[in-house]
Amino acid sequence: MCGLGKVFTESRLVPALFVLISGCATIPPSVSELPESGRAIELEGTPFYPQERYQCGPAALTTVLAMSDADVALDDVVSKVYLPGRQGSLQFELMAASRTAGRMPYRVDGTLKAIWKELEAGRPVLVLQNLGVAAIPRWHYAVVVGIDAERGQIILRSGTHKRRVTPIRTYLHTWRRGDYWGMVVLEPGELPAAVDRSRYFAAVTALEEAGRAEAAAAAWRAALRQWPGDTVPLFGLANAYLLLQDFAAAEKAYRDLLEQDRSLLAARNNLALTLAGQGKYDAAMEEIGVALSANRDPAMEKELKNTEATIRRRVASGER
């Protein structure tokens, strides 16, 4: 089947959706966030991959991916994320490699409470530390696998240490210099322990943009269970179905979306593409006609006209 045309998204539904998420913690984390009972938690079954020189990023990423049952090998991860010129890895590469491995990276809140909740859910947390000082940084990725609140200790898979036990206050100093950055990897359809709506939507959108439409569909379905009736995940799910050429499911999702808000012309545009994908050209042209009549946006008009032309070409070529 030839291309159906451009799948249009509606970023105006959530203005901040496509803004790069920066620091997530506004108040410095402290030991006071941990359970008052002095409990301890440790994911002892977390695998361990000792790092080679400067390769803490690949080792840490392989650790969390393996813990989530992803089919990965350390050497493959090194080839994807290690930058010899920088003698290390950037967060962007780690997150991109997570998607390649079939997982969705999600940045957690920069708090001890957030880490504790993820550990309770069975997910170790990959974190960025600066083991040096501001003037002479020494960046390092490690994996938090446990917290002992009573002893004031944090347990890491770190470098060549399978179980590095560090005072929490010392850890917080190194984490602060890493901007409290931490992430977990989620199986498609899995929600983090404490989910932020906009951040989760941005994570799913990045998954879709990486060409992981099937995984994105599972993640959007999870979002709809979490936020029933929310138009953003419904639109995302419809687009994922369209990219997967599951036209019947896409049509239903777009129609459900338009029942909630008939003014979403981007959804009507994509509904026309979905109908054309099923050979329902008359219905597709009707939807584009409705959208063109209602539209007042020159940029949108160009997209609608392009879709109309695509459908007319397919009709002329006799495609079914």
Q: What pLDDT does 32 receive?
A: 75
Q: What pLDDT does 245 receive?
A: 95
What are the φ/ψ torsions at residue 170 (nearest 5 degrees)?
A: -65, -45
Q: How many Cα atoms within 13 Å fall on the side-chain side of residue 221?
A: 14
pLDDT digits (tens, 9 = 90+) for 149-180: 989 999 999 989 999 999 999 999 999 999 99
What are the φ/ψ torsions at residue 158 (nearest 5 degrees)?
A: -145, 120
At 242, the pLDDT band (50, 70, 90 cuts) reads: very high
Q: Which candidate, 75, 67, 18, places its Cα nearest to that of 51?
A: 75
Contact 184, 140 (CB under 8 A): no
Of 46-55, 121-130, 222-231, least confident by mean pLDDT is: 46-55
Q: Please tell me which residue, 115 or 16, carries the higher pLDDT value.
A: 115
Q: Measure the CA–CA gap between 107 and 137, rounded to whole angstroms.
A: 22
CATH class given for the domain over 31-186: alpha beta
Q: What pLDDT does 17 receive?
A: 33
Q: Which candidate, 122, 296, 134, places its Cα nearest to that of 192?
A: 122
Q: Measure the CA–CA gap between 3 and 33, rounded to whole angstroms.
A: 52
pLDDT digits (tens, 9 = 90+) for 59-85: 899 999 999 998 876 656 655 665 555
Q: What pLDDT does 139 receive?
A: 85
Q: Where are the domains of the chain?
A: 31-186, 212-317
Is 60 exceeded by the pLDDT of residue 247?
A: yes
Tell me 83's DSSP state.
B
Q: What pLDDT does 256 receive?
A: 96
Question: If residue 127 lies in a helix (H) or strand (E), which one and from where to where?
Answer: strand 125-130
pLDDT digits (tens, 9 = 90+) for 2-45: 334 444 444 333 332 333 333 454 456 767 777 766 689 999 99
Q: What pLDDT does 135 receive?
A: 75
pLDDT digits (tens, 9 = 90+) for 295-305: 999 989 999 99
Radius of gyration of the chain (CA): 23
Q: What pLDDT does 72 receive?
A: 77
Is 90 exceeded by the pLDDT of residue 253?
A: yes
Q: Which CATH number fits domain 212-317: 3.90.1150.10, 1.10.357.10, 1.10.3720.10, 1.25.40.10?
A: 1.25.40.10
CA dihedral 114, 120, 123, 129 (to 10 degrees): 40
Whether the domain at 31-186 and the domain at 212-317 fall into the same CATH topology:
no
| Residue 68, token pair as written in the block | 């989530």
Q: Measure the CA–CA gap between 149 and 143, rounded to whole angstroms.
A: 17
Q: Please tell me which residue, 157 or 88, carries the higher pLDDT value.
A: 157
Which are the contacts of 43, defined by CB distance < 8 A and separation ≥ 6? 67, 119, 122, 124, 145, 146
Share of the chain above pLDDT 90, in %: 66
Question: If residue 41 lies in a helix (H) or strand (E), which one and from where to where?
Answer: strand 40-42
pLDDT digits (tens, 9 = 90+) for 260-271: 999 999 999 999
Average pLDDT, the chain: 85
Q: What is the pTM of this model?
A: 0.84
Q: What pLDDT does 260 receive?
A: 94
Query: In whole angstroms, what separates CA 316 from the centre of its chain?
Result: 40
Can you name the residues that pair with 155 across neighbouring β-strands?
A: 146, 165
